[in-house]
Structure 1
């Protein structure tokens, strides 16, 4: 074989070996990707009693109204009813009266319901409050657009005085409507107005006295519907001029010519 061919073959062999070495070297330098499978651990949960359907004020709870639902253990706060603490809660709540509106999926809290043996209206009243009724018409009741659980102002038009002029004043502000006639919730057919003749209001004892006096002094008592945005305003104020004073429990109010007598009458104390 000629020397030239031997040289060419040698160069080819060396080039092939060099190429293979370079390829192996580059392959070894590539990053190795390691797949790591994430393991997701499920947070421990407990069964919490929740509402199965929307329930208005005054509705009674039955076995279809509530159910147990898994709830993250870390999200359980004081006041929630858990199966571990009260396994018979569904049975024990049968017939209980709803005091505040409940919505589907909401955890049921004991303070939102009243005992099944309670009368509906008395169970809706917070401690220290009174239910007092006043006559209304479509005109004096905001055209029938006042519904149970709304907030209203009570307005009074006084009987004309010596000058023959009528005067109006606000007797109560932002008080809650408990019922219209005998209805303590919206009509089942979905209508949004209740044309009643009597509105039952949630009042403090002093407010109840003031409204009773106003009903005797007034030509007309009207209810003015308040905005939902005003619901946080104070609702326990009673007008001083319609009360007999700090010792009103021992006095009889005297009304002369449509006005409260300045001094009233204090009955003698029994010995």
Structure 2
């Protein structure tokens, strides 16, 4: 049997019940800083960089839901954490969801921030513009040729130095696009965005191939799903979200749903309070 040891980059805040925070693609673990500081009296929050998209070592080979679950499990084993709460946003939420499905006995409660209720689009134009229409073909190349093909693709996903350096402009544009108010938490996250690597791209294509609603339907742990409605922001995404929420709610799942007026970054939305997340963690099942 082969033992795999991963290197993790983690920032910890607080004391008490262990809670793991996994961020969205493009951000370091400290995307969860506002949540970690709010919970610090009763929870020790581990803000973990995603593999290959921050300072944590990347994943090699084909990335599946079990690969992602094992990555989280190895961290818990290393830290001798037998059970934890998991909070994940976007790609981080997909990893937390995978862990909860494959290792339910190790999850106390799961918080999904705009994740799991609808499939990741086959052409993610909101993230990558017209370039996104190439994703099905690029995905086929990744599945067929693996690492050599990823190395060829990597330069297409890297930001230019000029874009990296103009951080103030980035912050303003980001807040306008996702409809959130500027804050020191957003400023900190934007200034410490996750480092990109070829293995990070491998993770993104693994995420691209996950069937998220199918994973959600397999949940057996208490889950709090906070999702953006996109009402008034993106009519197409609003209708898409409404369709998939109605569809998933037909299943008898251990999920509490919370609709938030706004977009994908519900964790920074003024329409939602972290007090609600804390209430979910403290309520006995």
* TM-score of the two chains, using structure 2 as the length reference: 0.20
Structure number with bigger Rg: 1
* TM-score of the two chains, using structure 1 as the length reference: 0.20
Considering Cα pairs closer than 8 Å and 6+ residues apart, tell me whether 1 or 2 has the greater RCO: 2
Structure with the bigger percentage of helix: 2
Structure with the bigger percentage of strand: 1
